[in-house]
Chain A
Amino acid sequence: MAIDKQSQHSAPSRSLVGDRGWLPRIRLAGQRSLTRYRIPFTRRTWFQGHAVVNPRDLTRQYKLDDKRPWFWIGGLIAALIIPILVGTNLALTAATTFALYAAINLMWMLVIGTAGIFSLATLAVVGASAYLAAWFSIEFGITWPVMLLLGTLVGLLFGAIIGLPALRIDGLYFALLTMGVVELCRVYVLQSRTFGSATGGLYGADTFIPVAWQLKTPGLILGYVAAFAVMLAMLGIYRLVNGQRLGLLLATARESEATAEALGINYQRARFTVFLISSAGLGFIGGFYATYFKGASPSLFSIDQVMLLFAMIVIGGLGRAEGAVVGTGVVVVLDKMFTEFGPIRFIVIGLIMLGVTLFARNGLFGIRDQFVEFRNKKKSERRSGRTEKGGEPLPEEATEIRDKDQIYFRRFDKRLRDHLKTLVTPEVIEEHRLKPLGQHSDPLERVLNYFRGAGGENKYVLYELKANTEYKIIVTTGEKGIPPRDVDSTIYTSKNEALHAVFLKRVQDLMDS
């Protein structure tokens, strides 16, 4: 057996592996009493994490289950503070726009992502609420808190009216229908005197900003903080709807409508409920819009605004709250902060959209997963290029094998198989055919012992269909309680014939390995 020569021959190229830990590890001794404090009214704890045992040195380390809440908190605090610190009017109005659009987009995400309704009337709901709240304020002198309430009610009503057809007609038709609604609203307010066709908008409503602060920095700061609060509220609604029962129901339903129905989930009703909730949210935003701008403008109904919102969602990635917020941020910063670049901004926004749709499957926030997936793919490609199938593992692969015994087994098994392959000759096969059971020549015994000792998974065995006259080959699964499966439909009429057929299959697998 030319093992020595072979081992030198087949030694794969090896490089050092092992990463040094640069970040300090949070070690928690098991002796220490740990109290997990919960977030009030939930079962969640503040630091949702768990201890893990590092397989390399058995150290117990603390690991956060989900780092996202911390990113959220950090990100939101930064988003709140930076515009105030910058303090320019431009920055503050841009930030306010961002907060409002982000709020709208969160609600839109509920409609599209959670309820699966392709409505383009999102902004129209905001507009309708803003117009009515403003009009009531001007005509009847209602104060800003009532405007918020009224906006919400209008949103709910509007939502109910346009939501009903969504249950009856398919996605694309519904999208066109809502586009029609938007255009109808726009044309209406442009021509309606009541709604300020002459002044290019309806102005003069009550506002929450004190008169003295109006159009001054403190007023803008107050406006921004208020808009930010609205965004936080919408984020809360988004999480409640999407993360709780309703969202889970709809997620199940999206997987399979049949399963959902079998489980007694009323898919259409759940969708409609989500649509109503988001419409009410949008109505509230509309009311806020009217109190912030002291009125409403027809631009709320313009298609280009809808398209801009759409761009935000696409860039951020559908179905993720952080996507809606960050996507909005990106577009608003480009749109409002770089006005000196003119229309080129929109080309840049378009290019980003194109890039995201072409290369990132799930928007900006899908990039990380996509990257990991890509790395894994590359990894397995590279590994399979460097090792022979079933051969000795590479150092980087060995680090991932828990039972190190298996590493030696693979080395040994490879060499054994290489040797056994040289023993399988036509004479040996013929010897087995003539006498499958009993004492055989040394080469055949060695080959048979290898076959007999192989693990229980994917092992060829026989199944006797009819006593002594009908056999077929099946394959064991090696798992308790999981019956063997069929290989093919060949029937062997004697046990010896069947035994030899199994032998031939095993030889085939050996030679192929």
Chain B
Amino acid sequence: MAKIVLTGYCDRFSVKPGEDISFMVSAEGTKTAEVQLVRLIHGDENPEGPGFIEKEVDGPIDGSHSVRKQHTQAGSFARIDDPDTRLALGQAFTLWAMIWPTTPEKGRQGILARWSITHDRGYALGINGDGQLEFWVGDGKKTDAVHAEVPLRPRQWYLVAVSYDPKSGQATLYQERVETRYGNLLSKITPLDMNSHVTEALRIRPADAELDFLMAGCHDHNADRGDFIGQLYNGKIDRCGVVGRAMSRADLDAMLQEVTQPADVIAHWDTSEGYSDKGIGDDIVDTGPNKLHGRGHNRPVRGATGYNWNGRDDCFRLAPHQFGGVWFHDDSMLDCQWKATFSMTLPDLKSGVYAARLQAGDTIEHLPFFVRPKKPGSAIAMLIPTCSYLAYANDRLGLEFPTSQLVSAHVPVFHEWDIELSKHPEYASSTYDTYSDGAGVCYSSRLRPIFNMRPKHRMAGTAVAWQFPADMSIIYWLETKGYDYDVITDEDLHREGKDCLSPYQVVINGTHAEYYSERMLDATEDYLAEGGRVMYLSGNGYYWAVSFREDDLSCMEVRKLDSGSRAWQALPGEHYMASNGERSGIWRNRGRPPQKIVGTGFTSEGMDESKPYRRMPDSYHKSVAWIFEGVEEELIGDFGLAAGGAAGIEIDRYDLTLGTPPHTRILASSEGHSDSYPRVSEEIAFNFPGQGGTQHYHIRADMTYFTTLNNGAVWSPSSIAWGQALPWNNGDNNVSRVMANVLDAFAKPGPLPGAEYHAEEKHWK
């Protein structure tokens, strides 16, 4: 019997009773799946903890549902809207484009094409199997082609074109390197002749493909999948167009000097048109007479530096016309666009973490989602860091990232799901991966199966539960301790701003709330200023600046810039996000270090061994000593599900120079970290030996506490491992005790404990 595979996703992360939610499922090896609504309590199977816990809940989706395999179109491309089929092109024509290919050697790729791969019909200007520019045509039976003399070089700007006259059959290819000191990989001093001009009389006349004109792909079809787009192109396409006559060499030479609309223009795509200060959408504007606009699918990366980038203006907002690059990636995927397998109007459920559990044979899959209350009713909100889930969604770090073992100091431990994921490049990768052409993945969406947002999942590279399954340890603790809490998500916070937090006395962060949009940051800051309370349970939180398009919160954007612990680095001139025009990178470099909001900020990471905190002398001040009530030990958290301690994995530190409020107390600090915990890159200006845990005092997690305006406060254990130490010994431990002391105090309105101990000290000893 074939192995049964079940996977899927929900159309939303969070849902309130009375709202609708749909579940998209794809299945192999089975035609039906048993569905059961469950409430998830704990997700880490580490034997030191309580193990996996779920509770079945009666739901309208329960029962047997028929399932089938659903396909996914990967790869970004643009489809031209051409209702009058002006691009069927019976006459002589010229196709031209400014291109910057990234993987010319990868196999056949369409650049400007109205080409049916299955029927060998139409025409295409693209790249052939030898990496050369090629113009090919087909009449439905046979194909013919003319190719340039030398392969295209990666990451060089070219003006490429074909002038074709069906009467004579003559096709002339034009390939000229665009001279720019900035955008090309190789300088003009490299004695490499990249130009080519070839004429050949083709025997075949193109028959109309009767399909849409595409940028960066060609039409394909197979019996199993139906129609799809193949022969996807990797690289940038800048200005391009179609002209209704065979342009001469001189005409094209003039275009190389300055792109203008030629006579007899059929389509003239000015890729830099339609930009705004608030970002760039998917539409590619035809400024010609026929308005044959294009629309990007799987979100080609817009606003990339163009063939004419002068290197001085570093943002598409400053000089849009220099940023006409549309960067296509053959493995970008933002929305599986599967059909809903089942849906429900959410019944009156208690707020929490839920999942649709699918089962067929021995195969079980959970599709988690977050239930918000109809109206906020609790004092406590657990803020689920869904932005960070997106950032890490389907990371392929362990399998493909060569330095990940050095970072984690751990031999990766793989599981079935890693192997399964590696078979599905179409489920796309995380912002820790690169697209197949080496560019960093800057978009991540939730409209796809996310293999690591599942209970029981463990990240291969670090061999611990990470993100969602790690956060379930906090959920378990809240459940076990009997707290009344609501669940909210980053997406809700981004959408609703401060109003999302205001109803709550206290907001708890997840274990790794690393990715923050400006709106989330603003909301948190305003909430705290108005008396809100935050328990910052993260390490390396409030770190990367991310953005969403105003009309689409399913997809997050980030650019990794010149600093910060980063899996890739955006190219010069591409530091601003196309979603909203904001600069990305780490918040610290935009003037908003996390210390300003939660007191601590990223200082180190390592995955070999987590350590305990030791109480600091300041914690004995009566204004904060209540936090340690009932704790006898000096060492806190010498246990835990994340590498055996409460301080570890990623840890943050107090720093007055980065805006830690001056009255902040360091209550406890971790110690004894190994050299596999080095200082983070943004802390290092000059590098020198001795940056590791055994030699540098900055390698520590600081548990800090400070009050804000209007009885607000922030308590920050500042470590990913903290949350995963809570369930140890069924929640009966000193980490849990400290946590409960803080939460109990924070959940109560009014003045905080210890607030009265503010007088000047008159010490005798």
Interface residues in chain A, defined as those with a beta carbon under 8 Å from any beta carbon in chain B: 28-36, 38, 43, 45, 50-53, 57-60, 437-440, 445, 448-449, 451-453, 455-456, 459-464, 467-468, 471, 474, 476, 480-484, 495, 499, 502
CA A51 – CA B152 in complex, angstroms?
A: 12
Does B201 reach chain A (CB closer than 8 Å)?
Answer: yes
* Chain B residues touching A, majority SS: loop
Of the residues B149, B413, B422, B672, contact of A471 by C-beta under 8 Å? B413
In the A-B complex, the 6 residue pairs with the smallest Cβ-Cβ separation, listed nearest first, are: A30-B195, A439-B674, A438-B609, A452-B405, A51-B149, A467-B45
Q: How far is the CB of A431 from chain B (nearest CB, A)?
A: 14
Does B226 reach chain A (CB closer than 8 Å)?
Answer: no
Given A38-B201, A453-B405, A502-B411, also A468-B190 (CB < 8 A): no
Does B31 reach chain A (CB closer than 8 Å)?
Answer: no
> Is there an interface contact between B47 and A468, defined as CB atoms closer than 8 Å?
yes
Name 24 A/B residue pairs within 8 A (Cβ), A-sorted. A30-B175, A30-B194, A32-B197, A33-B249, A34-B199, A52-B150, A58-B193, A437-B409, A439-B673, A439-B675, A439-B676, A449-B406, A452-B409, A453-B405, A461-B398, A461-B411, A462-B412, A462-B463, A464-B413, A464-B415, A467-B45, A468-B45, A480-B436, A495-B413
Does B146 reach chain A (CB closer than 8 Å)?
Answer: yes
CA A30 – CA B150 in complex, angstroms?
A: 9
CA A460 – CA B412 in complex, angstroms?
A: 9
User: B residues 398-426 with Cβ under 8 Å of A?
Assistant: 398-400, 402-403, 405-406, 409-415, 419, 422-423, 425
> Is there an interface contact between A495 and B197, defined as CB atoms closer than 8 Å?
no
Given A437-B643, A445-B675, also A474-B410 (CB < 8 A): no
> Is there an interface contact between B425 and A474, defined as CB atoms closer than 8 Å?
no
Of the residues A30, A449, A467, contact of B196 by C-beta under 8 Å? A30
For B400, the closest partner residue in chain A by CB is A480
How many A-B contacts at CB < 8 Å in the complex? Answer: 130
CA A471 – CA B47 in complex, angstroms?
A: 15
CA A52 – CA B131 in complex, angstroms?
A: 12
Q: How far is the CB of B463 from chain A (nearest CB, A)?
A: 7
Known: A448-B409, A453-B405, A462-B414. 12 other contacts (CB 8 A): A29-B195, A30-B195, A30-B196, A33-B197, A43-B144, A58-B190, A58-B193, A452-B406, A463-B413, A464-B415, A484-B414, A499-B411
For B197, the closest partner residue in chain A by CB is A33
Q: How far is the CB of B440 from chain A (nearest CB, A)?
A: 15
Q: How far is the CB of A154 from chain B (nearest CB, A)?
A: 38
For A29, the closest partner residue in chain B by CB is B193
> Is there an interface contact between A45 and B200, defined as CB atoms closer than 8 Å?
yes
CA A143 – CA B58 in complex, angstroms?
A: 100
CA A31 – CA B414 in complex, angstroms?
A: 53
Of the residues B144, B200, B423, B674, contact of A483 by C-beta under 8 Å? B423
Interface residues in chain B, defined as those with a beta carbon under 8 Å from any beta carbon in chain A: 45-47, 144, 146, 149-150, 172, 175, 190-201, 203, 249, 396, 398-400, 402-403, 405-406, 409-415, 419, 422-423, 425, 436, 456, 458, 460, 463, 608-609, 643, 672-676, 693-694
Given A43-B144, A480-B400, A481-B425, also A437-B198 (CB < 8 A): no
CA A453 – CA B403 in complex, angstroms?
A: 6
Kindly name the residue among B45, B198, B411, B460 whose own CB sees the greatest number of chain A CB atoms within 10 A. Answer: B411
Q: How far is the CB of A368 from chain B (nearest CB, A)?
A: 25
CA A29 – CA B150 in complex, angstroms?
A: 11
- Across-interface contacts of A438 in B (CB, < 8 A): 608-609, 674
- Across-interface contacts of A43 in B (CB, < 8 A): 144, 203
CA A60 – CA B193 in complex, angstroms?
A: 7
- Across-interface contacts of A32 in B (CB, < 8 A): 197
Given A53-B150, A58-B190, A462-B412, also A437-B200 (CB < 8 A): no
For A52, the closest partner residue in chain B by CB is B150
Of the residues B193, B415, B422, B463, contact of A30 by C-beta under 8 Å? B193
> Is there an interface contact between A476 and B399, defined as CB atoms closer than 8 Å?
yes
Kindly name the residue among B45, B399, B409, B673 whose own CB sees the greatest number of chain A CB atoms within 10 A. Answer: B399
> Is there an interface contact between B456 and A467, defined as CB atoms closer than 8 Å?
yes
Q: How far is the CB of B673 from chain A (nearest CB, A)?
A: 8
- Across-interface contacts of A45 in B (CB, < 8 A): 200
> Is there an interface contact between A439 and B190, defined as CB atoms closer than 8 Å?
no
- Across-interface contacts of B194 in A (CB, < 8 A): 30
> Is there an interface contact between A31 and B45, defined as CB atoms closer than 8 Å?
no
- Across-interface contacts of B198 in A (CB, < 8 A): 33-36
- Across-interface contacts of A439 in B (CB, < 8 A): 608-609, 672-676, 693-694
> Is there an interface contact between A58 and B412, defined as CB atoms closer than 8 Å?
no
> Is there an interface contact between B249 and A35, defined as CB atoms closer than 8 Å?
no
CA A493 – CA B311 in complex, angstroms?
A: 57
> Is there an interface contact between A453 and B406, defined as CB atoms closer than 8 Å?
yes
Given A36-B199, A481-B422, also A456-B693 (CB < 8 A): no
Kindly name the residue among B190, B195, B425 whose own CB sees the greatest number of chain A CB atoms within 10 A. Answer: B195
Q: How far is the CB of B197 from chain A (nearest CB, A)?
A: 4
Given A58-B191, A439-B694, A480-B400, also A464-B199 (CB < 8 A): no
Given A36-B200, A476-B399, also A437-B609 (CB < 8 A): yes
> Is there an interface contact between B410 and A437, defined as CB atoms closer than 8 Å?
yes
CA A481 – CA B609 in complex, angstroms?
A: 31
- Across-interface contacts of A481 in B (CB, < 8 A): 422-423, 425
Given A36-B146, A467-B456, also A461-B414 (CB < 8 A): yes
Q: How far is the CB of A48 from chain B (nearest CB, A)?
A: 13
- Across-interface contacts of B423 in A (CB, < 8 A): 481, 483
- Across-interface contacts of A464 in B (CB, < 8 A): 413-415, 458
Q: How far is the CB of A279 from chain B (nearest CB, A)?
A: 31
Q: How far is the CB of B473 from chain A (nearest CB, A)?
A: 15
CA A481 – CA B436 in complex, angstroms?
A: 11
> Is there an interface contact between B411 and A53, defined as CB atoms closer than 8 Å?
no
- Across-interface contacts of A471 in B (CB, < 8 A): 413
- Across-interface contacts of B150 in A (CB, < 8 A): 30, 51-53, 60
CA A482 – CA B405 in complex, angstroms?
A: 19
For B693, the closest partner residue in chain A by CB is A439
> Is there an interface contact between A456 and B200, defined as CB atoms closer than 8 Å?
no
- Across-interface contacts of B414 in A (CB, < 8 A): 461-464, 474, 484
- Across-interface contacts of B411 in A (CB, < 8 A): 460-462, 499, 502
For A59, the closest partner residue in chain B by CB is B191
CA A438 – CA B436 in complex, angstroms?
A: 35
CA A164 – CA B728 in complex, angstroms?
A: 84
CA A495 – CA B399 in complex, angstroms?
A: 19
CA A388 – CA B259 in complex, angstroms?
A: 57
> Is there an interface contact between A461 and B412, defined as CB atoms closer than 8 Å?
yes
> Is there an interface contact between A461 and B192, defined as CB atoms closer than 8 Å?
no
CA A36 – CA B203 in complex, angstroms?
A: 13
For A469, the closest partner residue in chain B by CB is B47
CA A152 – CA B675 in complex, angstroms?
A: 88
Kindly name the residue among B46, B192, B436 whose own CB sees the greatest number of chain A CB atoms within 10 A. Answer: B192
For B198, the closest partner residue in chain A by CB is A34
CA A461 – CA B172 in complex, angstroms?
A: 53
- Across-interface contacts of B419 in A (CB, < 8 A): 483-484
Given A439-B693, A452-B405, A461-B398, also A31-B412 (CB < 8 A): no
CA A468 – CA B406 in complex, angstroms?
A: 23
For B405, the closest partner residue in chain A by CB is A452
CA A53 – CA B195 in complex, angstroms?
A: 12
CA A155 – CA B411 in complex, angstroms?
A: 74
> Is there an interface contact between A53 and B425, defined as CB atoms closer than 8 Å?
no
CA A499 – CA B608 in complex, angstroms?
A: 12
CA A448 – CA B191 in complex, angstroms?
A: 44
For A62, the closest partner residue in chain B by CB is B149
Of the residues B46, B201, B422, B460, contact of A468 by C-beta under 8 Å? B46
> Is there an interface contact between A495 and B463, defined as CB atoms closer than 8 Å?
yes
- Across-interface contacts of A480 in B (CB, < 8 A): 396, 400, 425, 436
Q: How far is the CB of B187 from chain A (nearest CB, A)?
A: 13
CA A463 – CA B409 in complex, angstroms?
A: 17
Q: How far is the CB of B119 from chain A (nearest CB, A)?
A: 20
- Across-interface contacts of B675 in A (CB, < 8 A): 439, 445
Q: How far is the CB of B424 from chain A (nearest CB, A)?
A: 9
> Is there an interface contact between A34 and B197, defined as CB atoms closer than 8 Å?
yes
- Across-interface contacts of A38 in B (CB, < 8 A): 200-201, 203
